[in-house]
Structure 1
């Protein structure tokens, strides 16, 4: 065996790593990826924070004005131009009672001062050029953080390149090359047609000078209200057309599809049938209940939303079990150490007793497969139970939801696997893998099943995900420390659904007056839906 010999006066020190910092983190079991891929495919060009449909015409217009106002290829100049415009919008909105415009907190503070005029530069940069505690911390403003990715994906802006095809970090609206496609240039022109020349010049003057007064804010209110769009205008027509346009493929070589248009069709049909205010979760739960079928025929788009909500129920139930399990650890040991496998036995014993008290099993020797037909509560009611209980009751409701999902969806698993494959989802762990794995354990008695599930799918799964997220860094999202058969609590993390972008889509439909402010389908929406039926 080779031995290392220390030379005279040589000292070898052990490697000392940086101290690990524990942070909150999201998705502690790494099960939300399937849901996120699903809604990304179904609603491309949107995200969960792009809350204003008129921004899809405003930003192309603003970018079209940049080279007219400032002749510079320095990206920092365009960033300043956009940041001044966004803070100006916030001041216009706050001073005129227009809600839902980002940057309003700092704008309100400016307006509380007795000054008649305001320095935009003081709202967008600190004296040292930093953006902390300004109207928006992200250097490229609301545009860069919230809208850039989505409006590039939907095809209305592009990054500028030089003569050597090198990206310059500048953006401009796309040119009109096909009249069947909504371009950034056409949206910019439509936006400009809805503002007066005097207000256009005033708005740009305020940006260029960096100064705006209270009279300016009042004068600019109507033209630069990003919450209202006149439905008799070309801007309204183009924004509506943009929403239902063919999706830009997310995968190279993929055939263009119309998932966004079809989602809008299903959402508005749902609104029409319910004739009351709707929300995003009601829609996805309705899609789940439909099992992706319309009049017993499979619908690809609705199947996507069925798969999304199925995965949501599953990831929520698993996360709730993790939360309840760590809560039990906290009850037993506080923040101290506790034997890991003893904890597993205690939790599975309590769940088994609860299942017996609920009439789902007669003894712990019952096979798991026997439980499935005894869960009579709906998925929605079990979800509500999970969210309104803690401890063993939460774990019990979570396992009941898992059993219910198996009972109602195993028959559709192969159809959903085909959907996932055809849409090229990149998945290693989703609800379909759970359904497949269950077939190997369905004849186990309840206690061994619970023990294995808790160890492999909850505790070990979380450790694996937390280590993967940490990588070579020193920030850990671990909710517990597990060492040499002992476990110690670090933090709790509650269950919840992901945001499927449908909420923002509903907001867009309200801004376009296709839905009323209360979320019901409007007269304009009924006419729009009727036309859409023949275009799906």
Structure 2
């Protein structure tokens, strides 16, 4: 019998993210509530610039030389970023209006200093596909392929097919490109691209391309509003959800009291509690109530996730002492959990909490926790979550973090409404959660079992649940991607921590910053005299339309 053998490539070691899978439901939620905007689609004008760029190329060149297209595309991508940065420098120096989050900015912005010194800037130096220190982007089609292509295809503005470089759609992409073309000096733009040489005067002549100038391009501006707010119901349920989430953000900008800015932290607190930072009720239209409630579920899941991540971090730190002489051998997760739950550190934490069982801790939280509306209070679960994130560092005293984690989880249960499904109204099925064992449904079920258990047994069960889940999630990632994201492994010497760094607890990023930036780009949000983000008159008009 003939046998063929070959070497097996070892898995690629990676620090990984979401080591417990607790963040996955959060991603599902904000993906449903803000479709068409992602964590990397930061600027509204890229939604129109990329369709224009490909359409405009087609008006000038034959489509028979892909390398020619590729080189011009990359030069144009660089030029677009340089225009925005230059416009900031000669106007108000406010980067969030002009150059922030423009593609390749870190590599391209320093080159403006040489331009100011009278030196020539060659676009090809940065647009090269070869690996150099000045290359603006590794991906062949720059920011389009890396960030925007999938989203623009979902919005029917560009084609996802790779069979041709005619990426814009004829139904929606071409009209949008034509609207852009009517308001920008396209011929001059392509002259600079072709010449491969840029001077400051060139950038100034092309300032109409700056990301801040959407409002000055009336057709483009209106079409982008129609896209993001789905004014003609083109995108069905996804368009409705996006419109309502953007409308909710605008409602908050219009409602915030003096001294409070529109930040992600403020948004989280307000949607979770239905209260403004001063604890006053946040009155929002009936049409947005379900959207607000769905965002509250997102925050609840993220708070739960941060608490469980902290338990994982604490466990890994305890398994990885600083000195070899301190190392204990544990042959199983359960053995470590029992030891940890019986340690003096845990005993001190439980004594300070003053509850003999988890049920007692929940009852104490129900009686003594700050009101739901008082979300700026340090003892509120929203603030406990931020304290866990900000308080973690290598070698940290784990006692306060363990206490805050237990308090946070108990408060979440105390606020829970058992008569309502945890993910009610959201398209999250049991099948979708199959690979993510720790979620709001399983947390509710597990906490019911904890009610009569002593707190030290609950701590042991939490540790086992976290460590077993991490092993399961890491094993699934290894099977699917050949990436090893294990931070713990069983060995002949017992449980061993993998790597030098314990992963810190972290929140998810719910596309809020990108949504706010897009609303700024559309002229619907602006900084007032005190530098707080507030609604504009045009933003109020669109907000009212989105709230019916």
Task: Place the TM-score, normalised by the shorter chain, in its bin.
Answer: 0.7 to 0.9
Q: Which residue pairs with 2:255 in the alignment?
A: 273
Q: Which residue pairs with 2:516 in the alignment?
A: 506
Q: Which residue pairs with 1:460 in the alignment?
A: 468
More displaced stretch, 33-42 vs 421-430: 421-430
User: Compared with structure 1, are the counterparts of its residues 78 and 498 closer, same or farther at alpha carbon in structure 2 (3 Å cutoff)?
Assistant: farther
Alpha-carbon distance in structure 1 between the residues aligned to 2:142 and 2:197: 19
1:444 and 2:447 correspond? no
Cα-to-partner distance string for 1:83-135 (whole Å, 9 max, x where unaligned): 11111122323444243122223223433445643322221115xx4577510
1:260 and 2:246 correspond? no
TM-score (norm 2): 0.82
1:426 and 2:415 correspond? no
Q: Which residue pairs with 1:478 in the alignment?
A: 486
User: Compared with structure 1, are the counterparts of its residues 232 and 215 closer, same or farther at alpha carbon in structure 2 (3 Å cutoff)?
Assistant: closer
Instruction: Select which of 455, 463, 469 maps to 2:477.
Output: 469
User: Compared with structure 1, are the counterparts of its residues 421 and 487 closer, same or farther at alpha carbon in structure 2 (3 Å cutoff)?
Assistant: same
1:318 and 2:311 correspond? no
Alpha-carbon distance in structure 1 between the residues aligned to 2:426 and 2:382: 24
Instruction: Select which of 50, 58, 73 maps to 1:82.
Output: 73
Alpha-carbon distance in structure 2 between the residues aligned to 1:131 and 1:230: 37
User: Compared with structure 1, are the counterparts of its residues 480 and 342 closer, same or farther at alpha carbon in structure 2 (3 Å cutoff)?
Assistant: same
Q: Secondary structure at the match of 2:83?
A: helix
Alpha-carbon distance in structure 2 between the residues aligned to 1:237 and 1:422: 34
Q: Which residue pairs with 1:55 in the alignment?
A: 46
Q: Which residue pairs with 1:180 in the alignment?
A: none
User: Compared with structure 1, are the counterparts of its residues 238 and 348 closer, same or farther at alpha carbon in structure 2 (3 Å cutoff)?
Assistant: same
Q: Which residue pairs with 1:405 in the alignment?
A: 412
1:108 and 2:109 correspond? yes
Cα-to-partner distance string for 1:277-315 (whole Å, 9 max, x where unaligned): 211232233222239996899933223212211111111
Q: How many residues are treated as equivalent by the alignment?
A: 496
Alpha-carbon distance in structure 1 between the residues aligned to 2:238 and 2:479: 36
Q: Secondary structure at the match of 2:42?
A: coil
The structural deviation recorded for 1:419 is: 2.0
Alpha-carbon distance in structure 2 between the residues aligned to 1:210 and 1:425: 53
Q: Which residue pairs with 2:351 in the alignment?
A: 356
**Is the CA contact 2:33–2:242 (under 8 Å) kept in the aligned structure 1?**
yes
Aligned ranges for residues 366-385 of structure 1 at < 5 Å? 366-375=356-365, 376=369, 377-385=379-387
Q: Quote the RMSD (CA, aligned, Å).
A: 3.2
User: Compared with structure 1, are the counterparts of its residues 171 and 433 closer, same or farther at alpha carbon in structure 2 (3 Å cutoff)?
Assistant: farther
Cα-to-partner distance string for 1:491-531 (whole Å, 9 max, x where unaligned): 31111111111111111111222111331222332233233
Aligned ranges for residues 211-360 of structure 1 at < 5 Å? 211-220=197-206, 222-230=207-215, 233-245=218-230, 258-275=240-257, 276-290=260-274, 299-331=289-321, 333=323, 338-340=328-330, 341=334, 343-349=336-342, 350-359=345-354
The structural deviation recorded for 1:469 is: 1.2
Cα-to-partner distance string for 1:422-461 (whole Å, 9 max, x where unaligned): 7898222322221123223432222222212211x21111
- Structure 1: runs of 5 or more not aligned: 5-9, 161-166, 177-182
Aligned ranges for residues 76-155 of structure 1 at < 5 Å? 76-96=67-87, 97=89, 98-100=98-100, 101-113=102-114, 116-125=119-128, 129-130=130-131, 133-155=134-156
**Is the CA contact 1:138–1:144 (under 8 Å) kept in the aligned structure 2?**
yes
Alpha-carbon distance in structure 2 between the residues aligned to 1:237 and 1:201: 24
User: Compared with structure 1, are the counterparts of its residues 133 and 339 closer, same or farther at alpha carbon in structure 2 (3 Å cutoff)?
Assistant: farther
Aligned ranges for residues 176-215 of structure 1 at < 5 Å? 176=171, 183-195=172-184, 199-215=185-201
Q: Secondary structure at the match of 1:228?
A: helix
User: Compared with structure 1, are the counterparts of its residues 498 and 472 closer, same or farther at alpha carbon in structure 2 (3 Å cutoff)?
Assistant: closer
- Structure 2: runs of 5 or more not aligned: 90-97, 276-281, 370-378
**Is the CA contact 1:159–1:172 (under 8 Å) kept in the aligned structure 2?**
yes
**Is the CA contact 2:81–2:105 (under 8 Å) kept in the aligned structure 1?**
yes
The structural deviation recorded for 1:259 is: 0.3
More displaced stretch, 111-120 vs 506-515: 111-120
1:69 and 2:75 correspond? no
Alpha-carbon distance in structure 2 between the residues aligned to 1:287 and 1:396: 26
